[in-house]
A and B are shown apart, each in its own frame.
Chain A
Amino acid sequence: DAGVIQSPRHEVTEMGQEVTLRCKPISGHDYLFWYRQTMMRGLELLIYFNNNVPIDDSGMPEDRFSAKMPNASFSTLKIQPSEPRDSAVYFCASRGEGGYNSPLHFGNGTRLTVT
């Protein structure tokens, strides 16, 4: 089991540029979550998918953020245009259908710096 795979590990970009973060969930997992982590606010849920369908995007900060899951093995989180306040670590996590006690499995995250 390769675990949740995210790319890139680090991304440095200038304000106004488009940023795309990628995630491959664990094979067979039906749920995929995107979180953002900062020192001040901790881990914040941005959006989650079930069977490739977005279920709740109420955590997406604004229209500059969008997420897609075109198939069961791939998801993207896009920021366009990026701003310095978007600097954070973005985590993708997946879990199976095992019920409420199923834990989330996290990827290693993408550290985004917007200058």
Chain B
Amino acid sequence: GQNIDQPTEMTATEGAIVQINCTYQTSGFNGLFWYQQHAGEAPTFLSYNVLDGLEEKGRFSSFLSRSKGYSYLLLKELQMKDSASYLCAVRGNTDKLIFGTGTRLQVFP
């Protein structure tokens, strides 16, 4: 079967660093995506990993370990506008993108 796990909620302080973890078990693997979703809005693409290692994009970085079925999204210099849900999604052997239930991040001043 396919399973993607993320923590349900996290809190952090403005200016801090937060790491959101994702573990997965899927039939095949052709990449892992992170999406951001503000309340009442559509998910928007943040990052893609298919090889092991760290991908950095400004304040956001994403890491992948295929052997461990593990990824994390690292958010640095947190801002209030980063309060949102962060969705981990995996593409297996097909064109389907399977999502975890998301991690709701609240940033406090």
Interface set of A (CB-CB < 8 Å, partner B): 31, 33, 35, 41-45, 48, 50, 55-56, 91, 100-101, 103-109
Contact = CB atoms under 8 A, between A and B. Distances in A.
Given A43-B43, A91-B42, A109-B42, A104 B50 contact: no
B96 to A, nearest CB: 6
B43 A42 contact: no
B45 A104 contact: yes
A101 B95 contact: no
B101 A100 contact: no
B98 interface: yes
A106 B44 contact: yes
B31 A45 contact: no
A101 B50 contact: yes
A91 B87 CA distance: 15
Contacts of A109: 42
Given A42-B99, A45-B96, A48-B96, 7 more contacts: A42-B102, A44-B99, A45-B98, A48-B95, A91-B42, A100-B50, A105-B45
A56 B99 CA distance: 16
B91 interface: yes
29 contacts: A33-B97, A41-B101, A42-B87, A42-B99, A42-B100, A42-B101, A42-B102, A43-B87, A43-B89, A43-B99, A43-B102, A45-B96, A48-B95, A50-B95, A55-B95, A91-B43, A100-B30, A100-B50, A101-B48, A101-B50, A103-B33, A103-B48, A104-B43, A104-B97, A106-B42, A106-B43, A107-B42, A108-B41, A109-B42
B42 A56 contact: no
B67 interface: no
Contact of B31 (A43, A50, A101, A108): A101
